[in-house]
Structure 1
Amino acid sequence: MSDLPGLPRFRTFTFAAGVLAVVLAGGCAAPGESKDSGSSGTGPIKIALVDAQSGQLSSLGKWEYKGAKLAVDEWNTAGGINGRKIRLDVFDDQGDPTVGTNIARKIDSQKYLAMIGTAESAVTIAMAPTLRQAEIPNIASGQSPGMVALKSPFLFLNGPTSTTYDETLAKYLVDTKKLKKIAFISNNGAYGKGEHDAFLKALSGRGITPVDDEVVTTDQKDFSAQLTKIRQRQPQVVFIGAEEVESGLIVKQARDLGINAPFAGAAPQGTPVFRDTAGAANAEGTIVSSPYLSNDTSAATKKFAAAYKAAFGEEAELHGAKAYDGTQIMLTAMKNSGVATGKKLADAIRAVKYEGLMGDFAFDATGVGITATSIGIIRKGTLVKAEG
């Protein structure tokens, strides 16, 4: 199946198993018009997936859609939940918090039971108050601690927060590799700020101050001024707190400026988009903290990757795996609760103990279910587990 095209604001796409369609098999109504999508209904169970399907962050949304769709297809093939099919409708937030907030109101008015997404921390944070008021449970893929700080009982994370990613990274770089001259370059968005603050805290706890700390904007394309300052400091490693495309551009420009130090970061630096944007040779040696280093980690990841490849004709990666886990947890909670809604569904999600691709999920009161990552290094274009 080809990638989704860019969607206009609020346009909703519904997916049948393996086929892009206006309406999923098992329900003939348009989004928001099913006879009854509540716990006592007999129509399709409606779940919204909200992510960037257009713009610079669209790769995240497309990966997330595919992981969620794979899980939904598995459940529908097995009969759905209590004989009801699951309908997954996709909304394009364009990576824009304002668009996301308006979509939150839309999925409330159209009576969606739950939401998967977003993969963009800033959009998730913007949507959270509306979803909380509407009592719509949301399993998101971002990692900013700002999401946890909201203390919404309806917001859950399908992976670790930046605190976990960056404490693991600091432990490897400082405790294991004994590196002390570390430079920062991060953006001023919710993700970048979360990464910056979490890694800075991890270093401060080890008595280390960055040799340079550069902040860029989320839409910046030329980093020569910041990278020139970093080069003058001669760091042993450069920490990046930015999304996939921006991180790749930073690394490419850094190499052009003669910066040879390895780069280090979290989930974005482990993706094919980062590698391809930076160039494989430039990305070589990048150090990555991630809960999902490889499709070959376990029997479960191998099975998932094979199913993903068969369905979409491409290799699976972290974001698709996270969305798959989150959707499996959501659907399990729906089954366990008899397709409950609102607080009852949120409580059912919190009660799920799930052995997932990311690890063993057990949600705490903050909505965090995974608190561990591993360290990988890009070698010859592939992320492999680091030694030591």
Structure 2
Amino acid sequence: MANAFCRRDFVKLSGISAVGLGAASILSACGGSGSSSSDTIKVGLMGPYSGDVAQYGLAVRKGAELYVKQLNADGGLDGKKIELDTQDEKGDATEAVNVYNKMVEGGVVGIIGDVTSTPSIAVAQVAAGDNMPLVSAAATAADFVSFGPNAFRACITDPYQGKLMSDFAASQGFKTVATIYNSGGDYEKGVNDAFVARCKEIGLSVATEQGYQSGDVDFKGQLTSIIAVKPDAVLSPNYYQEDGQIVTQARQLGYAGAFLGADGWSNIVGGDQEYASAEDLEGCFYDCSFVIENESEDVQKFVKAFQDEYGEAPTNFCALGYDAAMVLLGGIKTALSKGVDLSSDDGRQAIVDGIAQGSVDGVTGTIKYDGSGDPVKPTLVITFEGGSQKVFDEVGA
């Protein structure tokens, strides 16, 4: 029999809602069906596997699936195999909530996801009322972890990246900077705004901020305005396809200074397509959690396993997917040790506590949490030199 005061009531009273999505979760509706069997544990894996941002979702999925495959081959958790419920949310916030509801109804005890920031925030709003454990590989928007203590991420945040790259710019002796960013993107705007705010704090001059719209391919107008103020460096905190076009067009216009970027630059080189030439990228910098050029033994072991499995080199998003799975399943392992029913309120809380109080040695570094869903972990600064990229520095943790 359902409790008279259910989680839907909690969501209403606490003010947590997925505005405009018109959906409450299955658990929030005081019901829910399906559960992990006696010899399996069902875990959700959601992301955009089709649509404009599918490359990120597919990369995260490959990393997460590899970790689960390895874990199952090693006996699973307490002899239970992990069963993945993998679903495509197409990069859409409303569809992401629908996928979340399906997963909850199907009996998942935690979810690896979502991937991009806007759908991830929509899911986090609904999942907070259920206290459903969420671990995102790549949702960098600050708000993702703000709705409840059940949401965690394996990646660094937009504000952190903006601050890091402004401090880095100052450390390189740059005095004047400019920015060019997708003004309609949560990720891009988040990094840009944090960068500009930090520059003001440390006395680094921001000569101009140039915005553009999603879908734009000609950036020469914005770049001409930037070049006119003669900045030492330009922040371009976008996704790699646009960053590559921006750098290329800037070089064509005669700009020879450094470009700075965030983790959206990952895969700008080394994939099926080169988005900017090695010559144009020379001396540019971006931050991220992982590159295959990192000589760490753990990184190289992961690179080999990934290549053996998929016949291709992993990207930053693959590594973050692997680590996100490790974080969630580490929390589940802790909860199992307490003997709780994972599908119950106590079980979900035990998983959340296990993540919050635990630590994992991931591919992207040791990951732990210190009072929030944001990870305490190291961050790499990557540069381009002699036609390839390399680790320039490691910052923090």
Partner Cα distance (1:333, 1:386) in 2: 33
C-alpha distance 372-387 of structure 1, shift in aligned 2 (>3 A): closer
Structure 1 residue matching 2:249: 3-state secondary structure: helix
What code does the residue aligned with 1:317 have? T
Counterpart of 2:178 in structure 1 is 183
Partner Cα distance (1:204, 1:384) in 2: 30
Task: Choose the corresponding residue for 1:170, options 142, 159, 166.
Answer: 166
C-alpha distance 101-251 of structure 1, shift in aligned 2 (>3 A): farther
Equivalent residues of 1:108, 1:131 under 8 A apart: no
Matched, 1:228 2:224: yes
Deviations 1:356-382 (A, max 9, x none): 222222212220122432322022443
Matched, 1:263 2:252: no
Counterpart of 2:361 in structure 1 is 355
Counterpart of 1:114 in structure 2 is 110
Counterpart of 1:21 in structure 2 is none
Equivalent residues of 1:146, 1:190 under 8 A apart: no
Query: Structure 1 runs of 4+ off > 6 angstroms?
Result: none
Counterpart of 1:328 in structure 2 is 326
Partner Cα distance (2:80, 2:377) in 1: 34
Task: Choose the corresponding residue for 1:303, options 301, 309, 318.
Answer: 301
Equivalent residues of 1:152, 1:366 under 8 A apart: no
Task: Give the deviation of 1:308 after TM superposition.
Answer: 0.6
What code does the residue aligned with 1:342 have? R
Deviations 1:59-111 (A, max 9, x none): 11111011101100011101212222212232222222222222222222222
Structure 2 residue matching 1:277: 3-state secondary structure: coil
C-alpha distance 137-265 of structure 1, shift in aligned 2 (>3 A): same
Structure 2 residue matching 1:82: 3-state secondary structure: coil
C-alpha distance 100-256 of structure 1, shift in aligned 2 (>3 A): farther
List aligned pairs for 1:144-293, cutoff 5 A. Answer: 144-148=141-145, 150-174=146-170, 176-187=171-182, 188-272=184-268, 276-293=274-291
Partner Cα distance (1:115, 1:171) in 2: 34
Of the structure 1 ranges 181-190 and 305-314, higher mean CA displacement relative to structure 2 is found in 181-190
Partner Cα distance (1:224, 1:137) in 2: 44
Equivalent residues of 2:41, 2:83 under 8 A apart: yes
TM-score of the two chains, using structure 2 as the length reference:
0.82
Equivalent residues of 1:269, 1:286 under 8 A apart: no
Partner Cα distance (1:33, 1:78) in 2: 30
Task: Choose the corresponding residue for 2:335, options 321, 334, 337.
Answer: 337
Of the structure 1 ranges 95-104 and 183-192, higher mean CA displacement relative to structure 2 is found in 95-104
Task: Give the deviation of 1:154 after TM superposition.
Answer: 1.2
C-alpha distance 169-185 of structure 1, shift in aligned 2 (>3 A): same
Task: Give the deviation of 1:301 after TM superposition.
Answer: 0.7
What code does the residue aligned with 2:361 have? E
C-alpha distance 381-49 of structure 1, shift in aligned 2 (>3 A): farther
Partner Cα distance (1:345, 1:109) in 2: 19
Tell me how large the CA RMSD over aligned residues is. Answer: 2.2
What code does the residue aligned with 1:78 have? D
Equivalent residues of 1:68, 1:327 under 8 A apart: yes
Deviations 1:103-147 (A, max 9, x none): 222222222211112221112112111111232211112222232
C-alpha distance 217-104 of structure 1, shift in aligned 2 (>3 A): farther
Equivalent residues of 1:165, 1:372 under 8 A apart: no
Equivalent residues of 1:122, 1:189 under 8 A apart: no
Partner Cα distance (1:362, 1:219) in 2: 37
Partner Cα distance (1:305, 1:254) in 2: 33
Structure 2 residue matching 1:229: 3-state secondary structure: helix
Equivalent residues of 1:67, 1:321 under 8 A apart: yes
Structure 1 residue matching 2:314: 3-state secondary structure: coil
Counterpart of 2:43 in structure 1 is 47
Partner Cα distance (1:381, 1:92) in 2: 36
Task: Give the deviation of 1:155 after TM superposition.
Answer: 0.7
List aligned pairs for 1:12-31, cutoff 5 A. Answer: none
Counterpart of 1:142 in structure 2 is 139
What code does the residue aligned with 2:333 have? K
Structure 1 residue matching 2:86: 3-state secondary structure: strand
Partner Cα distance (1:328, 1:215) in 2: 37
Structure 1 residue matching 2:202: 3-state secondary structure: coil
Task: Give the deviation of 1:310 after TM superposition.
Answer: 0.5
List aligned pairs for 1:51-70, cutoff 5 A. Answer: 51-70=47-66
What code does the residue aligned with 2:191 have? E
Of the structure 1 ranges 159-168 and 184-193, higher mean CA displacement relative to structure 2 is found in 159-168
Partner Cα distance (2:132, 2:149) in 1: 10
Task: Give the deviation of 1:278 after TM superposition.
Answer: 2.6
What code does the residue aligned with 1:298 have? S
